[in-house]
């Protein structure tokens, strides 16, 4: 099976993108930053919302996770497709496609 066949059990490019973003960004350290209480300070666009250390952690995590998914896509396509479809159902079913 190859990625982006017309079969319904094969993810589209958008399904892949949604799964990768959900896994590498949304369900990573950024979720901890997002989980806090709302603050009036967040309404001021002139103020930073993330520290340099926080954004560094987010980006390192995301790059590591995306690299792992790319290796999986190359070396174990069936496992990758299962991962994308599982993420599509679990985390991305309401996302734009």
Category of 47 on φ-ψ map: left (φ > 0), alpha (ψ -120 to 50) or beta: beta
Q: What's the burial of 59, exposed, middle or buried (CB within 10 Å: 0-12/13-18/19+)?
A: middle
pLDDT digits (tens, 9 = 90+) for 7-30: 457 899 999 999 999 999 999 999
pTM of the predicted model, to two decimals? 0.80
**39 pLDDT tier (thresholds 50, 70, 90):** confident
Category of 4 on φ-ψ map: left (φ > 0), alpha (ψ -120 to 50) or beta: left
pLDDT digits (tens, 9 = 90+) for 58-85: 999 999 999 999 999 999 999 999 999 9
As given in the structure block, the two tokens for residue 27 are 């369900």
Per-residue pLDDT, 80: 96
pLDDT digits (tens, 9 = 90+) for 44-64: 989 888 899 999 999 999 999
Per-residue pLDDT, 52: 94
Please indicate whether residue 92 or residue 37 has the higher confidence score (pLDDT): 92
DSSP assignments along 32-94, one per residue? HHHTS---GGGG-TTS-SS-HHHHHHHHHHHHHHHHHHHHHHHH-HHHHHHHHHHHHHHT-TT
């Amino acid at each position: 099976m190859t990625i982006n066949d017309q079969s319904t059990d094969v993810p589209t490019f958008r399904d892949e993108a949604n799964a990768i973003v959900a896994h590498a960004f949304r369900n990573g350290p950024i979720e901890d930053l997002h989980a806090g209480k709302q603050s009036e300070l967040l309404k001021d666009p002139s103020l930073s919302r993330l520290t340099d250390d926080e954004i560094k952690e987010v980006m390192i995590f995301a790059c590591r996770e995306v690299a792992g998914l790319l290796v999986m896509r190359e070396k174990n396509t069936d496992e990758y497709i299962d991962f994308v479809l599982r993420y599509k159902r679990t985390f991305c079913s309401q996302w734009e496609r």
